[in-house]
Amino acid sequence: MAENSQSRAARKKQQKQSTQSGKKSVFKRIFTTLLIIGLVGALLGGGLFVYYVQGAPNLDEAKLSDPYSTKMYDVNGDLFAELGTQKRTKITYEDVPQVLENAVLATEDVRFFDHFGIDLQRIGGAIYANITEGFGAQGASTITQQVVKRSFLSPKKSIERKVQEQWLALKLEQKYSKEQIFSMYLNKIYYGNNAYGVASAAKLYFNKDLNELTLPEAALLAGLPQRPSAYDPYKNPDLAQERKNVVLDLMVQHEKISEAEAKEAKAVKVQSMLSEKTETNIPYDAFIEQVLKEIQGKVDDVNVYEDGLKVYTTLDPKAQQKAEQLLDEQGGISFPDKDLQTAAAVVDTKTGAIRAIAGGRNTEGINATFNYAIDGGSQPGSTFKPILDYGPAIEYLKWSTHHQLVDEEYYYETEPDRQVRTPYTSGYKGQVSMRYALEKSLNVPAVKTLNEVGFDKAQSFAEGLGIEFTQKAFYETNAIGGGEEVTPLELAEAYSSFGNEGVHNESYSVKRIEFQDGSEPIEFETKSNVAMNDSTAYMVSDMLKDVVTSGTGTAANIPGLPVAGKTGTTNDDTNSWFAGYTTNYTIAVWTGYGSEEKTVPDTKIPQRYFNQLMSHISQGVETADFKKPSSVVESKVEAGTSPAKLPSEYTPSNLIRYELFVKGTEPTNRSQAYDQLNPVEGLQANYDQGKQSITLSWKYKQDEKRPATFTVKGATRGQSPQTITEGIKETKIQIPNVQPGEAYSFEVFAVSERNGANTSSPKTVQIEVPKKEDENVDDLLDGEEENEEKNQNENDQNENNNGNNNGNGNNQGNNGNNQDNNDAGNDNNNQDNDSNQEQEEEEEDNTDNQPDSEDQSSGDTNEEENEEENDSEENNN
């Protein structure tokens, strides 16, 4: 306490001496001031200088002492946050310890107590540095000028502002003492984390009063105002440590401390000095962080916390409140544990205006915790498929939504000389349409599509949507979102282009900034570009609607609301995504454990979050469906055709699809796969009395594109037709063992060799077999006894053969008593049995070999098996 009292007394003595010295040198100051004014006037021209000075504001004492906060307004023009009124404690010069004064002066203005508001030596040094090292290498503002700038002037860099700043600094020095100005500076300066003034900063970071500060603590505080966010000791302790050491070096350079003292202070780690961080209680902190990022990135020399701005933003409080509420434990989403993070961004689909940002769960205020919505990023998984694969395929290759791809085992490149097999989940689907591949999020078709598009075109397409790539090297794994990392805001911005007819708008949160000195406001302009044809945008949106209604994203479906969207997960489900949009809003949601490679227990969380948030913000808002542009044609197609073909009148209804085509590429050829074949011609039936058989013959002109086989059916009088044979290629067949005196009818029709459902209309012929001529009864009786035993054995054998005959009607002659008929029947039935058994085995083989298909069952008859069938039929005949 004694040392502190002596220190204060010494400073009071110094203050008095400084005041006396100031009175003695008043004439010197006036002379120097006039000299500077003359020099500046000579450079700028007397009239312009006078004009600038006359426009300077008055020295308002209230603005020098009162907080001058920055106000933020939402999209409705309502005030929602005020920065600059929190954590402010005023001090006087007597409250400042010498160690802190030395640290501030060494860092900001070492000749502060010697100059008159403007440091000519420093100006000269700054001019030399800017010439030798480039413009902006060094500034020349004194502490007095900084007080003036923060209190009265806009932060915009201009000659006018600089002239006014210097003029007002001279006036301030004439009106107030050095000690008063120094305390003004320490009370106004912003130290990060909503701490204004050095006393508030000491309490926030160290939980100490000013008179308790150590050298390393004072050095840290002196270094923070240059870049409060960058040097935030809680978020960036390493950068804060470097800055603290720079201040210590400056103190040594200006002989404020010794080398030994600096070395000892440098050894103290920033983390060891800090107290536990407290909450800031500023609403919508995640959104405000985006506002600060935009302002700092687009406007030079602006400090939102100090410059008393009016910032008009795009914030929709209805969306922001719901986005934050859903992150709470009782907000409507069931989270498996407190460590699982979720973040989201909401943008206006038509303009790119950011309506809400949810930065993560369990946040602690502005810049206090990591903002997952706008910082860092994660691999996007399958949400990249419309961006890198299918969007570019439509844009550059004019693919239709029907375009056929094959889902099969496939090895893709993840990095040089390393390949992995595509993830296999529920089995490969074979030939599928592009629409189905995207709906079910199949990986193999996506990788194949990227290869066909080409990496350069795919990357160019994605960059047009605002996606930035950190490397040019591109691997197939990018096709399924295994490459670049994105944030929810970046993904929402990209997806909004699909819902905005192909026009990409850079996302933005700030519309206008107004300055407290009344100078011209800054209007923020967002960049726009035509990222794709409207046909591409509409066709992608139409496919993504299927993802939500019947694909992998059904948990995001909102009845009555036209929504398009896509799911995404990464390896082992360490990240889960959903990006979706209507014509009004676009939302991207991410869930994961941040830097931890842990599996997300519930990958549906992003879909449910999207569902509730989109439902809420769409209430009472008219939401139009996506409008089909004139550049797109919707056409019927027959499923599985490649290239796409129109269905015929014979195409089964369950195989007719409605697909989208870029105008001029729609199908014009009609499929003949299910067309009715031409009927056979010249069908004749001739009876051979000697062989007791009927020979059927016909003519048919084969079409090489649609080869046909034939099916023959027959029936006796009053019976239903039964298949005699099928799948034959010959145009002639013999029907043995016909019954004398019986009337027969036969029908023959052509059947597509490739598609059994495609047939011709049948051709029919009738024939009546004449009755057997009367024979001598005695001759019949003489032979009856001799043949009785033989006929009985042969009939028993025929009955066994008849049981294997497939109902062809070939056994009619087996029941007769004539020996010749029995012989012929036995021979033919034995051949039939062998033939039928072979045919049944071949049919089973064909059935087993039929390929699976998404849309239809189809399979080509094996040529070798057909030949075996034909040989069998010929033997049978």
List the Cα angle 856/860/866 in 5-degree steps: 145
Tell me if 711 sits within 8 A of 725, measured CB to CB: yes
Residue 619 contacts by C-beta under 8 Å, 6 or more apart in sequence?
A: none
CA angle 260, 261, 266 (to 5 degrees): 100
| DSSP helix/strand/coil, 14 | helix
Q: Active site includes 382?
A: yes
User: Half-sphere exposure of residue 374, counting CA atoms within 13 Å on the CB side?
Assistant: 25
Which is the catalytic residue, given 108, 165, 476, 659?
108
Cα separation, 751 vs 737, in Å, equals: 27
User: In a 10 Å sphere around its CB, with 0-12 CB exposed, 13-18 middle and 19+ buried, how is residue 795 labelled?
Assistant: middle
Q: Is the peptide bond before 336 cis (omega within 30 degrees of 0)?
A: no
First vs last C-alpha separation in the chain: 126
| Selection from 638, 642, 704 nearest residue 671 by Cα | 638
Residue tagged active-site, from 382, 507, 509, 693: 382
Any catalytic annotation for residue 108? yes
Identify how many contiguous H helices and E strands the chain contains and give both numbers: 26, 25
Please classify residue 822 by burial: count the beta carbons closer than 10 Å to its beta carbon, then call 0-12 exposed, 13-18 middle and 19+ buried.
buried
Rounded to whole angstroms, the Cα distance separating 837 from 841 reads 6
CA–CA separation, 190 and 188 (whole Å): 7
Geometric angle at alpha carbon 196, from 195 and 198, rounded to 5°? 95
Q: By C-alpha distance, which of 105, 126, 139 is closest to 255?
A: 105
Torsion, CA 222, CA 223, CA 225, CA 228, rounded to 10: -130
- Residue 443 near residue 388 (C-beta atoms within 8 A): no
Q: CA-to-CA distance for 55 and 38, rounded, in angstroms?
A: 18
CA 244 to CA 228: how far, in whole Å?
13
What is the distance between the alpha carbons of residues 358 and 751, in angstroms, rounded to a whole number? Answer: 64
What tokens were used for 110?
Answer: 């070492």
List residues bridging with 341 in a β-sheet. 592
CA angle 425, 430, 431 (to 5 degrees): 135
DSSP H helices in 764-857: 777-802, 819-848
| CA distances from residue 770 to 474, 689, 714, 743, 796 in whole angstroms, order as listed | 83, 9, 18, 9, 27
What's 734's DSSP letter?
E
CA distance 704 to 701: 10
Q: Buried b / exposed e across 719-754, counting CB within 10 Å, b at 16+?
A: eebeebbbbbbebebbbbbbbbeeebbbbbbbbbbe
How far is Cα of residue 433 from the mean position of the Cα atoms in its chain? 21
Residue 700 to residue 69: CA distance in whole angstroms: 94
Catalytic residues, which ones? 108, 382
